[in-house]
Amino acid sequence: MLSLELDRIRKAYGDTLVLDDVSLGMDAREFIAFLGPSGSGKSTLLRIIAGLETADSGEVRLDGQRIDHLHPGDRNVAMVFQHYALYPHMTVRENMAFGLRNARVPKGEIDERIAQAAKVLEIEDQLDKKPGQMSGGQRQRVAIGRAIVKQPRLFLLDEPLSNLDAALRTRTRVELAQLRQRVDAGVIMVTHDQAEAMTLADRIVIMNDRRIQQIGAPMEIYTRPANAFVAGFVGSPAMTLVKAALEPGEGPFARVRLGDGAQVETRVSRAGLPVDGPLRLGLRPESVRPAAAGTGTTEAEVLLVERLGDRTLVYARLANGEEVTAQDEGNSRIRMGDRIGLAVDGKAAHLFDADGTGHHAEAAA
């Protein structure tokens, strides 16, 4: 059964439309990530769900009931911000109890809920400390604890990890994944970090330009990006997009000619493509391999070599000036300035039409 439903949410600040007809349905225990560039309306949408912001039109429903007219405290959701916003003069215990006391939850029950949350978060020995005596990661856990004790139907997390340093962020990400197994609620997390979204979420909502660009499981978004924006945004380094033109032919799959004249045989169905108009070929680095000059699909000049240990990224320029990212072994011998061949794995190539719509390889039979 659907838990949260967003139905045609619109929001403008003055003349600036920020969210245009955003609709989304979410299952009761689902973990959803809102992923998109800065300014794409992620926080605004989360705040509309929380009741900290009002939509200009559209409905928010939780378990079938409209909640968009309710006070934030009456919505059965709990929000955690990037800045922990703990009260510095209160202990951890008092910070966690504060909202419950205001809601007139009986003292015995408050103690019980705090004990439970502290156990889930493994901060049982920290309850009498003040936030100033704790590390950033511990403080963020207290902020999450303060949400847990409310026992909400839905957790709303706005960039909860982005204030933590890299090592702590990775560790807290793992903890968040474990925590998620222990709370009986849905989670929506806003992030601009695709690794966070890919590792934590059941489904990712990609936002850009006032709209949802794609909703899907992490690997679905990676392997079948709905459009050129998603293709370029998800994946690091980004998918290469180069100009391509459809070659005439009878076969079921599209064969395209690149700007430098090279031809690539894809597994994208020819039937689904527009008959004419410009295309772009999309190549993940892992589907472009360096080859000896004179072999492979085409040739290129190496602009930059990035050694990552387990693999080497090779940034190269085709004869017509377009750039392509290729991937080589960790111990690659390629150097800047080399002329190399590139072997393109056409089976893994994507095509994007003039509207930006993605067309992908047919699933292997």
Ligand X SMILES: Nc1ncnc2c1ncn2[C@@H]1O[C@H](COP(=O)(O)OP(=O)(O)O)[C@@H](O)[C@H]1O
Binding site for ligand X (CB under 6 A): 13, 18, 36, 38-44
Q: Which is nearer to ligand X, 15 or 250 (CB)?
A: 15
How far CA 311 is from CA of 266, 267, 334, in Å, comes to 25, 26, 12
Shortest reach from residue 30's CB to Mg ion, in Å: 21
Question: Of the candidates 64, 63, 60, which has an alpha carbon nearest to the alpha carbon of residue 46?
Answer: 60
* Residue for token pair 């378990």: 63
Q: Which is nearer to ligand X, 10 or 224 (CB)?
A: 10
Work out the angle at residue 49's Cα, subtended by the Cα atoms of residues 43 and 52, and round it to the nearest 5 degrees: 70
Helix (H) or strand (E) run with residue 96 in it: helix 92-102
Interacting residues of 191 by C-beta distance below 8 A, sequence separation 6+: 33, 34, 35, 159, 161, 162, 197
Determine the interface stretch with Mg ion among 41-49, 52-60, 85-93, 200-208 (rule: CB under 5 A).
41-49
Beta-bridge partners for 340: 300
- How many Å separate Cα 286 from the centre of its chain? 20
C-alpha to C-alpha distance for 84 and 144, rounded to whole angstroms: 9
Shortest reach from residue 46's CB to ligand X, in Å: 8
Binding partner at 44 among Mg ion, ligand X, none, C-beta below 5 to 8 Å by kind: ligand X
Q: Which is nearer to ligand X, 190 or 361 (CB)?
A: 190
Q: Which is nearer to ligand X, 229 or 315 (CB)?
A: 229
Under rule CB under 5 A, residue 297 binds Mg ion: no
280 in Cβ contact with 242 (< 8 Å): yes
Binding partner at 288 among ligand X, Mg ion, none, C-beta below 5 to 8 Å by kind: none
Binding partner at 249 among ligand X, Mg ion, none, C-beta below 5 to 8 Å by kind: none
Q: Which is nearer to ligand X, 44 or 298 (CB)?
A: 44
C-alpha to C-alpha distance for 143 and 137, rounded to whole angstroms: 10
Q: CB-based burial of residue 84 (10 Å sphere; 0-12 exposed, 13-18 middle, 19+ buried)? A: buried
Shortest reach from residue 159's CB to Mg ion, in Å: 6
Question: Of the candidates 246, 259, 192, 238, which has an alpha carbon nearest to the alpha carbon of residue 359?
Answer: 246
Q: Which is nearer to Mg ion, 44 or 172 (CB)?
A: 44
DSSP 4-39: EEEEEEEEEETTEEEEEEEEEEEETT-EEEEE--TT
Shortest reach from residue 210's CB to ligand X, in Å: 9
Binding partner at 287 among ligand X, Mg ion, none, C-beta below 5 to 8 Å by kind: none
Tokens of 356: 């930006």
Determine the interface stretch with Mg ion among 36-44, 174-182, 232-240, 327-335 (rule: CB under 5 A).
36-44
Under rule CB under 5 A, residue 43 binds Mg ion: yes
Shortest reach from residue 34's CB to Mg ion, in Å: 9
Shortest reach from residue 232's CB to ligand X, in Å: 17
Shortest reach from residue 220's CB to Mg ion, in Å: 24
Q: Which is nearer to Mg ion, 3 or 40 (CB)?
A: 40
Under rule CB under 5 A, residue 40 binds Mg ion: no
- Give the total of residues touching Mg ion (CB under 5 A): 1
Q: Which is nearer to Mg ion, 19 or 134 (CB)?
A: 19
* Sites of contact with Mg ion (CB under 5 A): 43
